[in-house]
Amino acid sequence: MTLSDAACRVLNTADPAEKVRLTYAYAHEWRAGNIAEIGTSSPPDRPARPVKPVLCPPSDMPKRSAGGGKRRTNLIHAIAHIELNAIDLAWDAVARFAPLNLPKAFYDDWVRVAEDEARHFEMLQNRLVELGASYGDIPAHDGLWEAALNTNDDVLARMALAPMLLEARGLDTTPATVERLRANGDDATADIFELIGEEEISHVAAGVRWFEYVCEQRHLPPTPTFKSLVRERYKGQIKPPFNVPARTQAGMRADYYEPDCAAKA
């Protein structure tokens, strides 16, 4: 089995618990050298998904906040859904861009990211169970995978939109969410969110690192290229407040996101 084969098997696995188990197993086998080749395989356009949650347009999603009761469960479920998609995003990057013959460190990074995301999903699922719920109980939306579909053709676009834009936005929003959770007396959930926020810094850093590597290979200026890709391929808005310390720690210079990236694409 090659690494690309392993990635595609995860992508084609619908059950979340099995997706997590396979991610742990293949990450271990890759690091141990038991999976020796990257290989090439054809990843699906969309990963396999369980029957639940029902996928709805973002405008139809239930309100999520760090408040008590149902809103807190909605929040945890929404982030768990993002983390499940993030497992697949990382494995998709491995398989989809295997033919580019990027340095082995590229694949090392995204296998590690997949493993992190699997652990994040598992922590959030366990927290849902503690609160009397489970992943799949609440509708979710497919917005994150739409970004994947929109960047299937170009590793540079994928690095720009997934880690450097969407995951970086998570860095911006996490501190305020953690603060609200603690203010509402939910230190258990706050601790999980805080850990996820800290670990996502390295994911954004991987995106920046490989974005700038590919820009160098193509003789492209990184900042204008990033802003051009955002304008062309992102339908939402990038606006402050920005978590500047976390973004800086991830190697993301302010000129990537200030000031004109604040305008609607």
Quick one: average pLDDT of 191-218?
A: 98
- Show the DSSP H helices in the chain as ranges: 3-11, 16-32, 69-96, 104-130, 143-149, 155-161, 168-183, 187-218, 222-233, 244-249
Measured between alpha carbons, how far is 230 from 169 in angstroms, rounded to an integer?
A: 13
In this prediction, residue 263 has a pLDDT band, given cuts at 50, 70 and 90, of very low
Helix/strand/coil for 55: strand
CB 227 within 8 A of CB 260: yes
Q: Return the DSSP state at 73.
A: H
pTM of the model: 0.93
For residue 6, the one-letter residue type is A
CA angle 84, 149, 83 (to 5 degrees): 15
Dig out the tokens for 14 from the structure. Answer: 């619908």
Closest CA to 162 of 264, 234, 231, 251: 234
- The model's pLDDT over 100-144, given as tens digits with 9 standing for 90+, comes to 989 999 999 999 999 999 999 999 999 999 999 999 999 998 877
d(Cα 58, Cα 253) in Å, to the nearest integer?
Answer: 30
CB 68 within 8 A of CB 74: no
For residue 61, give both structure tokens. 């999603």
Q: Cis omega before residue 58 (within 30°)?
A: no
The mean pLDDT value for 147-171 works out to 96
Q: Say how far apart CA 241 and CA 67 lie, in whole Å.
A: 21
Give me the pLDDT at residue 264, please.
37
pLDDT of 245 reads 97
**Measured distance CA(28)–CA(11) in Å, rounded:** 17
Contact between 202 and 250 under an 8 Å Cβ cutoff? The reply is yes
